[in-house]
Amino acid sequence: MTQHLARAMHALEANQASRGSHFYPRFHLAPPAGWMNDPNGLIFHNNLYHAFYQHHPFDESWGPMHWGHATSPDMVRWQHQPIVLAPGDEWDRDGCFSGSAVDDNGVLSLIYTGHIWLNGQGDDSAIRQVQCLATSQDGIHFEKQGVVLTPPEGFMHFRDPKVWQEDGSWWMVIGARDDSDRGQVLLYRGASLRDWQLDRILAKAEPGMGYMWECPDFFAVGNAHYLLFSPQGIQACGYHNRNLFQSGYLRGCWRPGQDFIQNGDFIEMDCGHDFYAPQSFLAGDGRRIVMGWMDMWESPMPSKREGWAGCLTLPREITADAQGRLRQTPIHELMSLRGTEHPVLPCILENQRQSLLDCAQAMELELNWDCCESHAERYGLRLGAGCELFVDSQSRRLVLARRYPDEQLNGDRSVPLPERGDLRLRIFIDRSSIEVFVNEGEYCLSSRIYPQQDRQLQLFADHGRALCRGGSLWMLNDI
C-alpha cells in the first residue's frame, strides 16, 4: 500500500470509530465515514459486483477525491473494501476524479480522471484534467499505470470517462466544456486501454442546455441508444430542472463510426430533490442497472454532524417503454430484504388520517390509489412532520414535499399524474431517504429526508374523500 493510501485508510478507520448513526442508512450503500459522491466503476466481475465511488476519507466534506470501494454478491448486501485510489502522483495530485471500470482480458481495470489545480486548490479557472489507468490482479488492490489520454486543444474541463467494448474496439465517452462554455460529450475509440483516438463530438449543448456535461454514459436499450449525462447550468422552467444540477438523457440512433442522431428532448431521469451522476452497468444476467448519488451539490447535509455525508440510490433496472422513454424499477434482488408482509387494507379516507406505522425507518411500501374515485384536494402519505408524498388534485400532480426548516431544507418536487385512474406507488424509506417509483417506473423521485424523533407513517386526505385500494408493507433487514 502506498503512503497516500495508508494515510487515507488510517484516517477512515479513525473517523469510522466516532461516526454517528441517527441518519446512517440501513439498506443503502454509504461510506464507512467521511464524504461520498458519484458512483464510479460499477461492474460485475468474476461473479462479484463492485461499486467504487468518489470519496474523501479525512472528513465529512468534499475534498481531494479518492476512490472508495465496496463489493456485493447481489447488489444488495455490500461489504466495504480498502480505498483503491488516492491522489498524490504528478498526474492526479489534487484528485482521482470520476471514471469507470472494465474487464480487460480478465484484468479489472479502472479508467479515471486525474485532476490538478494550476492556481491553487479550488480555483477552477486553471485546471488540468487527464484520463488515467489503474489495474488489479485480485480486484482489491490496484496499481496506477499513469496517463493514457490528454485533452484536445481548447478543452480544460475534460473528465468522467465511461468505457465499454463494442465492435472489436474500446470506446470512451468523456464529459467536456469547450472554450465557449458549452457542454458536450466527446467520443473516443481505442485499440487498447492505453491507445485512444478522438472519434467525434458525440453531442453538444444547444443554447440553454448547460456549460458543462458531467458523468456521461452511453448504452443501447431495445432499438435505441441513450446518452445519459449530468448537465450543469440549465435554468429551471416550470416544474422542470428544479435542482441546482440535473441528470437525464437524450435518446437517438448510433452505430460505430457514425454520428449520434438525436430523437427528442432532454428528459430528467429522476424528479426528486437528490439525484446526480448516475452510472449504468450490466448485471451478470445482462440486465442494464443504474445507480446514482442520492444528494445534491450545495444543499445542506445534516448527516455531516455525524461525520459522514452521501449515499447511493438503490440499484434500478432500466428498460424502455413503447415510446422509447426509460423506465427504472428496483432490482428484484431487493425483495430478499423483506421481512414479514403486513397488508394495507383498502379504505376510504375523508378529511382524516390513518396510521400505518409508528416508526418508519427501514421499510418498503406498495400502495395503490384510485385517482378517478378520489376527490380530496390533497391525499397521500405523511412521514413525521417533515415529509409528504401526496396527490394535488388541482394541479393533477404527485408531489414529494419536504419541510425541515431547522436544516434549511424546504421544497417540493412533482410529476404528472397518469392519464388512467390507477396510481401505483412503490416506496422505499430509509433513515434519511425516500425513493418513490410511480406506475412501474414511469417516474422516480429520490430525496434525502431528515426526521428527528417523529417517524410516524400515515395515510391522509384533506378537504374531501380519497379511495386507497390497499397494498403491502414490509420491514426491511439491514445490509
Q: In this model, does residue 190 exceed pLDDT 70? A: yes
Strands, sheet with 79-85, edge to edge from the N-terminal-most edge strand:
79-85, 66-72, 48-56, 34-45, 308-309
| pLDDT value of position 1 | 65
| pLDDT value of position 379 | 98
Q: How large is the average pLDDT for residues 255-280?
A: 97
Percentage of the chain modeled with pLDDT above 90: 97
Q: What is the pLDDT of residues 87-120, one digit of tens each?
A: 999 999 999 999 999 999 999 999 999 999 998 8
| pLDDT value of position 122 | 78
Q: In this model, does residue 405 exceed pLDDT 90? A: yes
Q: How large is the average pLDDT for residues 324-337?
A: 98
| pLDDT value of position 176 | 98
The mean pLDDT value of the chain amounts to 97
Q: How large is the average pLDDT for residues 436-442?
A: 97
Q: How large is the average pLDDT for residues 145-163?
A: 97
Please report, for the chain, the start and end positions of each structural domain, with discontinuous segments joined by +: 3-330, 334-476
What cell numbers appear for 53 in the block?
Answer: 465511488
> What residues contact 318, with CB distance under 8 A and at least 6 apart?
221, 280, 288, 289, 290, 326, 327, 328
Looking at CATH, the fold of the domain delimited by 3-330 is given as Tachylectin-2; Chain A (2.115.10)
| pLDDT value of position 120 | 81
| pLDDT value of position 123 | 82
Q: In this model, does residue 330 exceed pLDDT 70? A: yes
Catalytic positions, written as ranges: 38
| pLDDT value of position 321 | 96
Looking at CATH, the fold of the domain delimited by 334-476 is given as Jelly Rolls (2.60.120)
| pLDDT value of position 420 | 80
| pLDDT value of position 303 | 98
